[in-house]
Amino acid sequence: DTAVSQTPKYLVTQMGNDKSIKCEQNLGHDTMYWYKQDSKKFLKIMFSYNNKELIINETVPNRFSPKSPDKAHLNLHINSLELGDSAVYFCASSLQLAGTSTDTQYFGPGTRLTVL
């Protein structure tokens, strides 16, 4: 049973395209996250989504938008893709919002996005 799943695993696309990455968790968690890991393996949090409240990292361009159709899903939409968007994107979830609690986060396997 996969706790946090992401699709697709790999995504190769042209600059300027719009793409989405899907994330689903079957843990009954209230909070989901998107992280970006760049080519230097540096991790950065992009969004936290908790009970319909979105917390955005202010450095994330507004071309990135998370969409949550329900509590178990948090999809990441990216418009007008740029070369610099190439990275591995990780989805995660936890029971309560990280930082306000010490609940464990569960990570998805990652989606490697390559923009050509």
Partner 1 sequence: KNEVEQSPQNLTAQEGEFITINCSYSVGISALHWLQQHPGGGIVSLFMLSSGKKKHGRLIATINIQEKHSSLHITASHPRDSAVYICAAFIINTDKLIFGTGTRLQVFP
C-beta atoms surrounding 108 within 10 Å: 26
CB-wise, 12 or 55, nearer to partner 1?
55
Tell me 30's DSSP state.
S
Token pair for residue 1?
Answer: 């049973």
Q: How far is the CB of 107 from partner 1 (least distance, A)?
A: 4
Per CB under 8 A, the list member of 57, 68, 95, 113 interacting with partner 1 is 57
Cα separation, 27 vs 29, whole angstroms: 5
Per CB under 8 A, the list member of 7, 20, 68, 105 interacting with partner 1 is 105
Residue 100 in contact with partner 1, rule: CB under 8 A:
yes
Residue 43 in contact with partner 1, rule: CB under 8 A:
yes
Cα separation, 107 vs 116, whole angstroms: 27
Helix (H) or strand (E) holding 83: none
Stretch that binds partner 1, among 12-20, 22-30, 63-71, 97-105 (CB under 8 A): 97-105
Token pair for residue 50?
Answer: 């908790």
Residue 27 in contact with partner 1, rule: CB under 8 A:
no
